[in-house]
Amino acid sequence: KSQLGYATEVWSPAQSTNETYLERTQRRATRWILQVKIGEVSYKDRLLALLNLLPLSYDREIKDLTFFFKAMYGYYDLNISDYVSF
């Protein structure tokens, strides 16, 4: 997951097809890690109950909001008003 989520604040997929590819990768990885076959355990159960992970889309949203908060309140040397208008 760390490889799939690296620096998503910068490159977060704008197209839903790219997001779908990322989620498919995580689905396959969770089946491989847990050694389960398709249909044995749902994706949601594998993530939340067995691996204690969030779906990548949730994880990206949390990272995006955290980045925005830190940019707004001066945790980064970044003038957020150059990029976002309110």
pLDDT digits (tens, 9 = 90+) for 4-42: 777 777 777 666 777 888 889 889 999 999 999 988 999
The answer on pLDDT for 74 being more than 80 is yes
> Is residue 50 within 8 Å of residue 34, measured between CB atoms?
yes
* Angle of CA points 40, 37, 17, to nearest 5°: 95
**pLDDT value of residue 78:** 87
Q: Which of 49, 56, 1 is nearest to 23 (CA)?
A: 56
**For residue 23, what are the CA distances in angstroms to 44, 47, 69, 76, 77?**
12, 11, 26, 30, 32
The answer on pLDDT for 1 being more than 60 is no
The ranges assigned to domains in the chain are: 14-82
pTM summary value:
0.70
Identify the band that residue 3 occupies on the pLDDT scale cut at 50, 70 and 90.
confident
Q: How far apart are CA 84 and CA 82, in angstroms?
A: 6
